[in-house]
Amino acid sequence: MRNFYLNRIINLNTVEAYFLREGYLISPEYCMILIDYKRPSTIEDFPHLKNINGIPEDEFGDDNFIKAVVVSSKEVTQETYDQLCTVAGGFLEDKEECRWSFVIEIDADFKQKNNLNDIFSLLQKILKKHQYPLNIENIPEEKFNFLSQE
């Protein structure tokens, strides 16, 4: 299993984002975004489970739903996918009454926009794609001197 160095780049009440690096002080290979929807999960959050016998769509939800999105500049192997899912699981798997999902977004721009100066527009694009109405580009720069940007 690969070891990733995690650098938290944003910490809000409902969104956290981390750079995942292979080593100390090198360019990040991935960006992991945790989105807390603060609502019950539905079968719509897991479309691949629809119409499977034994999964009751009307009784599906838990109290909360969190999505882990990993941004990569290129396709990943199944082994890397599993390792990145394990990283997300370290944050999310022990939460009672909370379902979570994991997706990888391929965005070639991440290869050039993997630093603090450029990442926020990419994060905003991902949040919009995953239907999360938060404008992180309006966070005042001085807030990034604190552990939380709230």
Which of residues 119 and 80 earns the better pLDDT score? 80
Amino acid at 18: Y
Q: State the DSSP H helix or E strand holding residue 54, giving kind and residue range, or none if neither.
A: none
Which of residues 13 and 96 earns the better pLDDT score? 13
CA distance 15 to 32: 10
Percent of the chain with pLDDT over 70: 92
CA distance 27 to 71: 14
Residue 55 has pLDDT above 70, yes or no: no
Would you say 95 and 64 are in contact if contact means Cβ atoms under 8 Å apart? yes
pTM of structure = 0.89
CA distance 145 to 84: 28
Band of pLDDT at residue 117, cut at 50, 70 and 90: confident
Would you say 86 and 100 are in contact if contact means Cβ atoms under 8 Å apart? no
Residue 51 has pLDDT above 70, yes or no: no
